[in-house]
Amino acid sequence: MVNVKTQRPSILYALAFLLFACQPEKSNQTQDSKPSAVYPYFKEPKVSFIYERYLDIKGALVAGNAEMAQKSADVFQLSIGSSSNLSDLAKSIKREPEIDKQRKLFTRLSIEVLKLLEKHPPVNGKVFAFRSMSDSSEVWLANEARVNSPYDGSISNGKLFKVLGKEEHANLVKKQSKRPNTERL
């Protein structure tokens, strides 16, 4: 008989290991002076968490790293529970060792995450939805309008087809202050 109390700490250690293993490596190289994309803010923390884990899987696929995609999908699946279509798709990616098959499953995951974000769009920042130019069924989401395909790692093989979310309040104020006041005329 398995003691449940001794199993829980080992599961927690495994989950903690996976979370740290999925972190990007730190580099001493200087980065571009361009500002990074604004990370979208969602009203519901669970939606934000799902989107963050989705981006982890996407990042692994962009890099062509099937093993990292499996680890990221495992964290995604364990984190959101087992009672949803998103969880089932993540579990399928986790079980698939071949990157080409992972990418096909990722298309379905992307469509489901897009549906979720359409119901719960970011209240700050934007999410950009892309479609592959070579295969219109290949869809992915990103924080910036720059194409970086998880299907072939290409930075030019994609077309923006939807933008979810709103601009930052500060940007709206700047734009409004630059408009001429035509009401007084």
Q: Is residue 16 part of a domain?
A: no
Nearest alpha carbon to residue 148 among 139, 157, 160: 157
What single-letter amino acid sits at 120? H
Return the pLDDT at 166. 73
Q: Is residue 144 part of a domain?
A: yes
| Total domains in the fold of the chain | 1
Q: How would DSSP label each residue in 5-29?
A: HHHHHHHHHHHHHHHHHTSPPP--S
What single-letter amino acid sits at 45? P
Q: Rounded to whole angstroms, how far apart are CA atoms 134 and 42? A: 31
Q: Is residue 17 part of a domain?
A: no
Q: What is the pLDDT along the chain (185 residues), one digit of tens a residue?
A: 555 455 555 555 555 554 555 554 444 433 333 444 678 999 999 999 999 999 999 999 999 999 999 999 999 998 887 768 999 999 999 999 999 999 999 999 999 999 999 999 999 999 999 998 888 788 999 998 888 889 876 666 788 999 998 754 434 333 433 444 434 33
Give the residue numbers spanning the domain of 114: 40-178
